[in-house]
Structure 1
Amino acid sequence: MNKKSLLFAFLLAMLTVVLVACGGDDKPAKENEKGEENNEAGSADKPKFMSLLTGGTSGTYYPLGGGIAKVISDETGIQTDAVSSNASADNIMSVEAGDAEIAFAQTDVATYAEEGINAFDGKPVKNVVGLGALYPETIQIVTVGKSGITSIEDLKGKKVSVGAPGSGTFINAQQILELHGIDIEKDIDAQYLDFGESAGGIQDGNIDAAFITAGTPTGAVEELKASAEVVILPMDEAKIDELVAKYPYYAKDVIEEGTYGLKEDVTTVAVMAMLVVSRDLPEDVVYDMTKALYENTDKIAHDKAKFIDGKTALDGVGIDVHPGAQKYFDEVNK
């Protein structure tokens, strides 16, 4: 091909490119404009599915989580599924790793995660933030009448469930036992069981007592009541004051007479249950989730739903709160 023909072919190709670009300018421009609008609203990054990590199926997290997941699904259009898990510490680690978007956790465990202590020793989480607090989680030290155990000090030398590995219950057990002069590794025969396994172990006589940190009444303990006299070990007022002074996320709590067939009120302590979310979730998505939860508690078929309140949702939360959740709480607490 001579130079003249080559030049002509080049000019023709360039003209074709220009014509195509001009001819298609209108439609792509509209698509781009729409895309930019979506990005500004955050909907371009809106997930289609989310996982909500809960806890063992015999605790409070799992059934309550099912109700919360349904509300979020119905109100936001994002399919959200409640998934059973080992609870607090493991839940936070899973959200940090990107394996889930939302999770239940105790407020104390969330604080440990942010500070990089206890189960998170030297590995503070960076990508997990708070959505809001839900309800008080009572530390219940459960045994039965025939065990002869009437005080926390009586647990020395006994076979005691201290919660599933990675759970907040384990840390509660460790701190409370230590306060009473009991080393979790040396002074008891520690068993690392979930709530259902703990109740079954007490019933079968395989263990003597169990720490259960959950909202009351707890399903596993209710099941135990059907076959035995449930005893909840009390905490002395002075010990409660000492515990709260050392760990401010604890608060005095009372398990009322009649719960599990108890003949009188039992004084103990509690932490708060909360939801944590991935920091990567868009602000508008978390705002919608938060609004959906705190304004539709009447649609959650669980006793603990009555405690879920936007006006107190930051009580006990010691970690950073997601901007989307904070925006909602700022609006309702004006």
Structure 2
Amino acid sequence: MKKIILAATLAAFGAGGAIAEEMRVGTASLGGAFYPIGQGISNLVNKYAEGDISMVPVVTGGSVQNPRLVASGEVEIAITNNNLAKLAVAGKGPYSAGALDIKAVAALHPSVLHMITLEGSDIETFEDLKGKRVAVGPAGGGTLGFLNFLLPLHDMAVDDITPSFLSYADGFSQLTDGNVDAALALSGYPAGAVMQASAGATLNHIGFSEGKLEEALAANAAYNVVTIPADVYGTAADGTVIGVNNMLIAPASADADTIEAIVRAVFDNLEEFKAENANARQITPEASKTLAIPLHEGAARYFGE
């Protein structure tokens, strides 16, 4: 966590060298959607939040790690998804060591599991990943959680692939360089890493064999189906992918006035956010009232609950 603290400390220095206290928003690895979303949230908070509040985005392991970072105080606020937040407060799954005392702050954009290979590859469905070299995202990120969910549904295990634990940017660079056969990324779309790969190569979505996507959705009600239009990444066909909604989280003990000021800075200026970030265009205020864990008191004030 030294890198997280260092990033926040360096960002706190102003032009005159003075240090101001800043809140750190945990995002994910570079190349996905979390970091730009965190940057956009920080920009709005720094511009519009009432009171002495400022914010800086920091790179983290991603949606699995972020609830732990919030609970331990290593970041003050962070992005995760509905499914992981629910597991975190229940002390289940990756958080079986103990329930985490976190609350929801706001609903964000949905993330989808990009499963991508190059044109001409013999990988067409998830089962075809068996025996292949696969960039699976960073350890602690949400992509690996999705992979561990999907593998048993296909009678597979991690040992059936050769995984590379890389940032999304590095993973998709390795794909276009031919060093891996497929790359995965749990991200909103368009994802920066996938866009970069599509600039120099023709990509194909990896799909699901008949009945498997429906089986996955039946196994976890937090997941949903999302269609990525072909023109997003220049693929030959639309991608039918599995996805999950994201949320901003904070410690249950966080000051309610501060949380309300953050939410107000973002959602009172949502159109500005949408104009600057394609993923933000998928954010709706109403979704914050139907999250998988309870809203923080400060957020509930804003959303009227």
| CA distance, structure 1, for counterparts of residue 156 and residue 170 of structure 2 | 23
Q: Is the Cα contact below 8 Å between 2:103 and 2:294 reproduced in 1?
A: yes
Counterpart residue number, 1:5: none
Shift of 1:318: 1.3
Alignment of 1:15-34 (within 5 A): none
Counterpart residue number, 2:11: none
Point out where structure 2 has 5 or more consecutive residues left out of the alignment.
Answer: 1-19
Structure number with higher helix proportion? 1
Counterpart residue number, 1:157: 131
Counterpart residue number, 2:13: none
Q: Is the Cα contact below 8 Å between 2:229 and 2:239 reproduced in 1?
A: yes
1:123 to 91, 95, 98: 98
Counterpart residue number, 1:201: 174
Give runs of ≥4 in structure 1 deviating > 6 Å: none
Q: Is the Cα contact below 8 Å between 2:104 and 2:296 reproduced in 1?
A: yes
Write the letter of the residue equivalent to 1:105. Answer: T
**2:258 corresponds to 1:285:** yes
| CA distance, structure 2, for counterparts of residue 314 and residue 158 of structure 1 | 42
Deviations 1:165-224 (A, max 9, x none): 11111010111222122112x211122122011101112222111221101111101111
Q: State the TM-score, normalizing by the size of structure 2.
A: 0.88
1:171 to 115, 123, 145: 145
| CA distance, structure 1, for counterparts of residue 254 and residue 70 of structure 2 | 11
Q: Is the Cα contact below 8 Å between 2:217 and 2:224 reproduced in 1?
A: yes
SS at match of 1:274: strand
Shift of 1:235: 2.6
SS at match of 2:285: coil
Write the letter of the residue equivalent to 1:238. Answer: G
Alignment of 1:255-270 (within 5 A): 255-270=228-243
Q: Is the Cα contact below 8 Å between 1:294 and 1:309 reproduced in 2?
A: no
Q: Is the Cα contact below 8 Å between 1:162 and 1:210 reproduced in 2?
A: yes
Write the letter of the residue equivalent to 1:321. Answer: L
Say which one has the larger Rg: 1
Write the letter of the residue equivalent to 1:309. Answer: T
1:83 to 58, 79, 82: 58
Point out where structure 1 has 5 or more consecutive residues left out of the alignment.
Answer: 1-46
Write the letter of the residue equivalent to 2:180. Answer: I
Shift of 1:164: 1.0
1:230 to 193, 203, 210: 203
Deviations 1:86-116 (A, max 9, x none): 1112221111111111101122121221222
Give the number of aligned pairs: 282
Counterpart residue number, 1:74: 47
1:218 to 191, 206, 209: 191
**2:28 corresponds to 1:52:** no
1:140 to 106, 114, 134: 114
Counterpart residue number, 1:113: 88
**2:288 corresponds to 1:313:** yes
| CA distance, structure 1, for counterparts of residue 115 and residue 160 of structure 2 | 16
Deviations 1:272-330 (A, max 9, x none): 12111122211121112112211211222101122222112234x21232111112112
Deviations 1:235-273 (A, max 9, x none): 346222211111111001111121210122121111012
| CA distance, structure 1, for counterparts of residue 187 and residue 202 of structure 2 | 20
Aligned pair in 2 of structure 1 residues 264, 146: CA closer, same or farther (>3 Å)?
A: closer
Q: Is the Cα contact below 8 Å between 2:53 and 2:258 reproduced in 1?
A: no
Deviations 1:54-96 (A, max 9, x none): 1112111111211111111222241111111111122211111
Q: Is the Cα contact below 8 Å between 1:294 and 1:308 reproduced in 2?
A: no
**2:277 corresponds to 1:302:** yes
| CA distance, structure 1, for counterparts of residue 245 and residue 219 of structure 2 | 17
Q: Is the Cα contact below 8 Å between 2:172 and 2:194 reproduced in 1?
A: yes
SS at match of 2:197: helix
Q: State the TM-score, normalizing by the size of structure 1.
A: 0.80
Alignment of 1:86-97 (within 5 A): 86-97=61-72
Shift of 1:163: 2.0
1:62 to 21, 35, 53: 35
Write the letter of the residue equivalent to 1:224. Answer: A
